[in-house]
Amino acid sequence: DQESSVVKSIVITGCSTGFGRDAAERFAAAGHAVYATMRNVDGKNAGAAGELRDLAEEHDWDLHVLELDVTDDGSVASAAAKVLSTSGAPDVVINNAGVMFVGFTEAYTTDEFRWQLDVNMLGVHRVLRAFLPGMRERGSGLVINVTSVAGRIATPFSAVYNASKWALE
């Protein structure tokens, strides 16, 4: 159909592993312009970033790996500036970045609890603040927030994670 053949620009957070990595590869293989973001592209995630870049080159995909730490305002702004200057407002933003802590809630420090909420909830807010104005100005766009069944069902030893996903829900 006509709509499915239209090339979309897609920003995906948390592409070093899992759903984000898989989505980046699948959308790029389908011919879309993909901005696969992750933190520490020159450090901890250098291998994952390199693998995605190699796949993009090998398959001639329009896939760009960008540094984006959802917990850092400057990092989000820098990545957004690169996307906006290259492609304009994205057609799709997929908020996938997330972390999961498990254990006894009272064992977490306040900083650890805060970091979980920062990644899983406030990170989504930062990314949306960076891209929604352009999408709104254009009058179109799609936002997908990847959450978890843990946003609906609390499980033992997951209170910190459950809280972050409930907030996102």
**What amino acid positions are annotated as catalytic residues?**
161
Count other Cβ atoms within 10 Å, centred on residue 143.
16
**Unique residue bearing structure tokens 């949306």:** 128
Side-chain half-sphere of 145: how many Cα atoms within 13 Å?
20
Q: Are 39 and 69 in contact (CB under 8 A)?
A: yes
> Could you tell me how many residues make up the chain?
169
Buried b / exposed e across 32-68, counting CB within 10 Å, b at 16+?
A: bbbbbbbbebeeebeebbeebbebbeeeebebbbbbb
